[in-house]
Amino acid sequence: MRVSRAALLLASLLLGACATRELPFQAPLEAVPVDAPFNLSGRLSVKAAGKGQLARFDWSHAPARDELSVNSPLGTTVARVTRDADGVLLVADGKVWRAADVEILTEQVLGWPLPLANLAWWVRGRAAPGIAHEFLADGALLQQGWTIRFTSDEPGALYPQRIDLVRDDIALRVIASDWRAPSLTLPAILP
């Protein structure tokens, strides 16, 4: 059977349109990094100690408070983490744990550390300010023992779409699917 060049060209264009091309992400330069509030939903995968877990997440971040729900692929909340001035609260399996540090607490309870304080910067493609860091030639960030790689399939995106974090035998992957700025509620003006 003989295939025409036009058919081959059409097939290659269709296949190319279906494939996503990931590009290294580079955050826009800022004079001073600003920890602006955000809401983010997406997927999370964790490989630790030879085991893997997949989850969806919903995260509401503000400089003074974080609320993170880790959900099963079917949408059931598996764990809820809240960070505020009083420390960290983790609710999972019908139990409640409190601690001063989210990374140590999540490692003890979930089996893997969630670097929530720095992750608020890393999901935006930036180094956490005030902490020693290094950017490698390929764009990867080294900070607090983590190697973080940022990619996006959208040139000129404000934030990376995928963040891969590796430390020791732990690998986290965050796929950001829905970024939202929190809505501001304005007080009613009385006449």
Query: Could you read off the pLDDT of 22-81 as tens digits, one per residue?
Result: 556 665 555 557 889 999 999 999 998 888 989 999 999 999 999 999 999 888 999 999
106 is a domain residue = yes
89 is a domain residue = yes
Average pLDDT, the chain: 81
Residue 185 has pLDDT above 70, yes or no: no
Candidates 144, 94, 77; CA nearest to 115 is 144
Check which CATH number belongs to the domain holding 101 and give it: 2.50.20.10
Who contacts 100 (Cβ-Cβ below 8 Å, separation ≥6)? 87, 88
Number of Cα atoms under 13 Å in the Cβ half of residue 190: 0
- DSSP, collapsed to helix, strand or coil, labels residue 73 as coil
64 is a domain residue = yes
56 is a domain residue = yes
Please give the model's pTM, rounded to 2 decimal places: 0.77
Alpha helices in 82-178 (DSSP H): 102-110, 116-122
29 is a domain residue = no
- Our count of domains for the chain comes to 1
Taking the mean position of all CA atoms in its chain, how far away is CA 188?
Answer: 35
134 is a domain residue = yes
138 is a domain residue = yes
185 is a domain residue = no
28: DSSP letter: P
Residues of the domain holding 164:
35-178
